[in-house]
A and B are shown apart, each in its own frame.
Chain A
């Protein structure tokens, strides 16, 4: 079977003077079309390195990457950008501060300019068209993140790589973005790798989950199965923290 996206035996070590950090150690993953794969772990576990490697933003020491069964290992972001797009934690700084949103979005597309499609996408992510005439500084964190989602769609990329995309937002804004992503997924518009430190958040959105620690994948599986029956101690600790930080009793 061919996966939409696949990584085999990914390895990456950072060497800095006397210090070496193993950021990825024999990591394997796969993503089906229409699926969201959650990647959880603490800071320093290698989650972001994994995304950067997938996007070709850094060079792997070892391993292979495949898109629809075709190997693309070693391609640069300029090439990978045709089928995948990154969405970052700090959406605001991913836009040119001097440009109004409409121009930023138009310039991000590879094909002919299509302002009509931009307006449709901005509506799709739940924003008002007028906001397109604003610069990033005049948008809230949540609005900027929605613009980033619209921009990713405009590029026609098939896969979204989301790096802690809601971590800088407050819980209410985060919940709205989550709703949007779930709706897009239901409509079959979204295939994504969703990186977050919050396993509760991942459980609300993703189909499968990968738990990372110290550059290794310590557990992988269907999200419901991992929550019911975690096999790794670290996963259990993550679940315990998540339970303590959520409100126990359902509110009527």
Chain B
């Protein structure tokens, strides 16, 4: 049976007067990884902004159904309740998510407290292990500025997982990382999916990353979803010329 945790129907999104997304249709089933792939300016990140209710955008038409309920007409308060608890967001720059000089420990406690949840070390250990992070104690004692971009990004995933959200939105989270680090971050996302059955939407310009983790892929270009299907089909039998080009442009080892 299909269980579409999130479904987007005929969604239009505008900055000022200009439409950045012109009638997008896509969905993701519970427990799947959906990758939204496209070049800069394709509207892929704008879709994420619409889900989180960014105030800079207008939505002239369409629906964003989360578990069957449209998010667009929600009042701020109701939306805030969903965000962070049932829907998590991680962005390209993890430094923006943390206070650079405050210990991770303190920052995690604050997050939990603001949601009226207790700080339980054992629970945290369990969660860290489940997503492949070792040395919980060391990580909690460290400060974001002391750590590499890749490590911060993995901690940002852990921070999002504190609330055990059903849906995790990831906006270009591997783009600023080198290849090896990007792989360890996508491995961590796969563990989040497998261990926590979290549904993940990952926005990326790199179809190579998508090939590594996606169950379903949406290709966006110029504000439209031009191809949307199971990952296998898109990767091995692309229908659109644009998708074929994206596939061709992923760097390949050649000797």
Residues of chain A touching chain B, judged by Cβ–Cβ distance below 8 Å, are 42-44, 140-141, 170-175, 178, 197-201, 203-204, 223-224, 227-228, 237-239, 241-249, 251
Instruction: Please name 10 further chain A to chain B contacts, defined as beta carbons within 8 Å, in addition to the given A247-B247, A249-B235, A251-B238, sorted by A numbering.
Output: A43-B149, A43-B181, A170-B39, A171-B207, A171-B208, A199-B179, A200-B252, A204-B251, A248-B211, A251-B248
Complex Cα spacing A199 to B247, Å: 18
Q: Which of B201-255 contact A (CB under 8 A)?
A: 205-209, 211-212, 235-236, 238, 244-255
Which residue of B244, B249, B254 is within 8 Å of A174 (Cβ)? B249
Contacts A170-B39, A173-B39, A199-B253 given; indicate if A42 touches B183 (C-beta within 8 A). Answer: no
Asked if B76 lies at the interface with its beta carbon under 8 angstroms from chain A, I say no
Q: Are A247 and B183 within 8 A (Cβ)?
A: no
Q: Residue among B148, B211, B245 with the most chain A CB within 10 A?
A: B211
Minimal beta-carbon separation of A166 from chain B (angstroms): 9
Cβ–Cβ < 8 Å partners of A203 in chain B? 251-255
Which residue of B205, B235, B246, B251 is within 8 Å of A201 (Cβ)? B251
Q: Which of B101-130 contact A (CB under 8 A)?
A: none
B contacts with A: majority SS: helix
Q: Are A242 and B148 within 8 A (Cβ)?
A: no
Cβ–Cβ < 8 Å partners of A251 in chain B? 236, 238, 244, 247-248
Minimal beta-carbon separation of A14 from chain B (angstroms): 16
Q: Are B148 and A44 within 8 A (Cβ)?
A: yes
Complex Cα spacing A223 to B253, Å: 10
Complex Cα spacing A237 to B183, Å: 11
Q: Are B255 and A246 within 8 A (Cβ)?
A: no
Which residue of B183, B206, B207, B249 is within 8 Å of A244 (Cβ)? B183
Complex Cα spacing A62 to B205, Å: 42
Which residue of chain B lies nearest to A179 when distances are taken between CB atoms in the complex?
A: B249
Complex Cα spacing A23 to B254, Å: 29
